[in-house]
């Protein structure tokens, strides 16, 4: 193993006093063992992947007297995040047809991409319901990034929306 050797062997001869000739070999094995133990420890405890982050920019709080921007209701797609990872969605605002989908690849992603082609300048309103989880919000925001939707807003759910979901019986 790793050793330091100093001088050669031998001792005194002919009564002459010789300067240290005895070998002073230091056994470094324990030290090297310890070093590798530490190395293993630090390698294993190092977390290489830093947490990711998703940047979210919320609109400025409405000041009093501010009118909400007017949009063409035909361009509005509303997504309501329901319990158990359900997504209720509909196009338009007056008397909409509520449909059910989920977070799978063939679910919301397909709808988003097809609607995006169908409706130019589509505006997505994300309304997380009271029973939805934080995970659902992150997932839907993630879908927005994946499908590169530019115009979406996080909106508070209204009782009208809740009624719509109830009536749809989905």
Residues contributing to the site for other proteins (CB under 8 A):
1-2, 28, 32, 35-36, 38-39, 42-43, 45-47, 49-61, 81, 84-86, 102-105, 107, 109, 128-139, 141-143, 145-146, 156
CA distance between the termini of the chain: 72
Nearer to other proteins, 2 or 18 (CB): 2
Q: How near is the Cβ of 19 to other proteins at its closest, in Å?
A: 26
Where b means 16+ CB within 10 Å and e means fewer, 64-103 reads: eeeeeeeeeeebbbbbbbbeeebbbbbbeeeebebeebeb
Nearer to other proteins, 72 or 114 (CB): 114
Nearer to other proteins, 82 or 90 (CB): 82
Q: How near is the Cβ of 50 to other proteins at its closest, in Å?
A: 5
Radius of gyration, alpha carbons of the chain = 35
């Amino acid at each position: 193993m790793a050793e330091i050797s100093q001088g050669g062997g031998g001792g005194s001869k002919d009564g002459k006093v010789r300067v240290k000739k005895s070998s002073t070999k230091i056994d470094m094995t324990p030290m090297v063992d310890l070093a590798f133990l530490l190395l293993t420890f630090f390698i294993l405890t190092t977390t290489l992947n830093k947490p990711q982050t998703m940047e979210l920019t919320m609109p400025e709080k409405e000041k009093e007297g501010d009118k909400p921007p007017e949009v063409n209701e035909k361009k509005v797609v509303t997504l309501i995040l329901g319990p158990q990872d359900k997504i209720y969605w509909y196009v338009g605002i007056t008397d909409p047809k509520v449909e059910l989908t989920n977070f799978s690849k063939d679910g919301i992603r397909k709808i988003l991409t097809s609607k995006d082609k169908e409706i130019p300048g589509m505006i997505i309103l994300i309304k997380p319901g009271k029973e939805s989880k934080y995970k659902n919000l992150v997932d839907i925001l993630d879908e927005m990034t994946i499908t590169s939707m530019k115009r979406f807003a996080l909106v508070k759910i209204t009782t009208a929306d809740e009624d719509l979901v109830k009536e749809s019986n989905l």
